Amino acid sequence: MHKITAIIISIILIIILFSPLAYAQNSNNTKTPIKHVITILFENHTFDNFFGLYPMDNYSWNRTIIKNMVIPNGLINTPYLKELKPVKNGEYSTIDPIEGYTAYHIDWDNGKMNNFINGSGIQSMTYFTSYQLGLEWSIASEYSIADNYFAPQLSESAPNTLYYIAGFTPVINDYGPPPSFSINETIFGELSHYGISWNIYVGNKNTNNFDDMQKYLYDWNSYSYHLKNWSDLINESYNGTLPSVSYVFSQNSNGYSQAAPENVEKGEIWLAYLINKIELSPVWNSTAIFITYDDPGGYFDHVSPPKLDGVQLGMRLPLIVISPYAKEDYVSNTLMTHTSILAFIDYNWNIPALNKFVSDSNLPLDMFNFIPYANGNVARPPINIDLEKNLPSNLDLSLRPENITLNFSYMFPFVPQFNYSSLPYNRTGYSNSTLSELGFSTYLNTDKIIVPFYYEPWFFLLLIIIGIVMLIVYGGSHEK
């Protein structure tokens, strides 16, 4: 009897050990104090288009702070095309530049970066200032930004967003499926495999998808319970149920994504609201927020994108990292792309690199600080953006973008939390750390693409052979 009991107990222990629950119990064993990663995706802006004049423009209220801030590699002191123009005061959007694989390659012009007018049109030659982006510039001034962060592909939304979630793409432009691939090829599949919690958040899970990306995942329906609303993210931040990894997509019919010709300030207000709620929630001291854009949208950028693992990267994109462990007023020169965020997730939870491209992508480790400040604390306190105070009481965020005409330039810059001279780190730098160099294994050795048989080359060859045979047979019969 005792022997049977022992066997039963052993079986139960083995089931628990190899179940997702066992992995989930280890989900808090992170390499850093960060237990929650929230990554937020906007649409269609380059670094120069949003931060080209950061922080030196003519609309900021405190020049003393500004003159002591770090200047990233933008348009300041950089020769650039005379056609470039700032967005006018009182305007918050531009005409949509021409987008697409072909247009972006014309813009790029083999690295010369001087053909945007012929590729994406004269409307591509614009840039915003703190007059339109006072909130976003202020957030960047308090935390860390990157000025060497590129789109994974010299193309538009679909391939770049697929790199954002999977570290590869089966398409080169906005078409398909087919081809498609399994969700197990994405970061979501890897996190599920290791029992690490995750969710995707959209404006309305009943009417929105995450930027149409799930259509490429042929087995998405078995994971669809991970799709939630933005409001769920806020609630979970306060009730203790926020997952380890959260992917937030701004795409919404109400115009929050900032893509042209939408009002960029509407998305900015939404972002500030979301950040404010998270910073004032119980999860703040264990959270890192990554904010970036899916693709350049056709806007000008002066830096020629390099190659990574033989892949030609696209134009530079904005990247802001917000965290109690993010360096203050820091500019990272680390060469990065969307897969650097995937690499950080794998690194932080000590799981294999999703694939080789992720493994070879630089980690954003230089953007974080885990050394105590002068007051002895490592984690920085939250910043209360206090939107209720700064926004008019009658503001209706459900309004169409063109109905918002606010000016938040007076907010930039925020007063630094620490005196710049007392910071325990330099305010610019870079890192060349990759998961490959750190000895991480690789989760996926190959990325498997699913293509219907009638799209396979052999099927077209078969049709040609059948056609030739029919031509010979019926042609010969006709001659007789």
pLDDT above 70: residue 456 = no
Beta strands in 99-171 (DSSP E): 126-127, 144-146, 149-150
pLDDT for residue 104: 98
> What's the mean pLDDT in 281-300?
97
pLDDT above 60: residue 359 = yes
What is the separation, in whole angstroms, between the first and last Cα of the chain? 89
Looking at the fold, whether 7 and 56 belong to one and the same domain comes out as no
Looking at the fold, whether 183 and 129 belong to one and the same domain comes out as yes
Residue 73 lies in a domain: yes
**CATH number of the domain where residue 222 is located:** 3.40.720.10
pLDDT above 80: residue 249 = yes
Range of the domain at 38: 31-449
Residue 461 lies in a domain: no
Looking at the fold, whether 23 and 158 belong to one and the same domain comes out as no
Looking at the fold, whether 107 and 158 belong to one and the same domain comes out as yes
How many domains would you assign to the chain?
2
Query: Degrees (nearest 5) of the Cα angle 35, 40, 43?
Result: 165
Please, which residues have CB within 8 angstroms of residue 229's CB and are 6 or more apart in sequence?
Answer: 201, 202, 203, 204, 205
pLDDT for residue 178: 87
Residue 334 lies in a domain: yes
Question: What's the maximum distance between 2 C-alpha atoms anywhere in the chain?
Answer: 99
**Can you give the pTM of this predicted structure?**
0.88
The whole-chain average pLDDT of the chain stands at 87
Looking at the fold, whether 266 and 345 belong to one and the same domain comes out as yes
Of the listed ranges 10-24, 63-77, 237-251, 351-365, the one predicted with least confidence: 10-24
pLDDT for residue 387: 58
Looking at the fold, whether 276 and 371 belong to one and the same domain comes out as yes
Nearest 10 degrees: Cα torsion 252, 254, 260, 264: -110
Looking at the fold, whether 157 and 95 belong to one and the same domain comes out as yes
Band (pLDDT 50/70/90 cuts) for residue 399 is very low
Of the listed ranges 41-50, 57-66, 377-386, 420-429, the one predicted with least confidence: 57-66
Please give the residue that has the higher pLDDT: either 437 or 449.
Answer: 437
pLDDT for residue 394: 47
> Per residue in 185-236, pLDDT tens?
999 999 999 999 999 999 888 887 777 888 999 899 999 999 999 999 999 9
Please report the sign of the dihedral spanned by the C-alpha atoms of residue 432, residue 67, residue 93, residue 139.
Answer: positive
Looking at the fold, whether 60 and 165 belong to one and the same domain comes out as yes
Whether 260 and 44 have beta carbons less than 8 Å apart is answered as yes
> Per residue in 128-186, pLDDT tens?
999 999 989 999 999 999 999 999 999 999 999 999 999 999 999 998 888 999 999 99
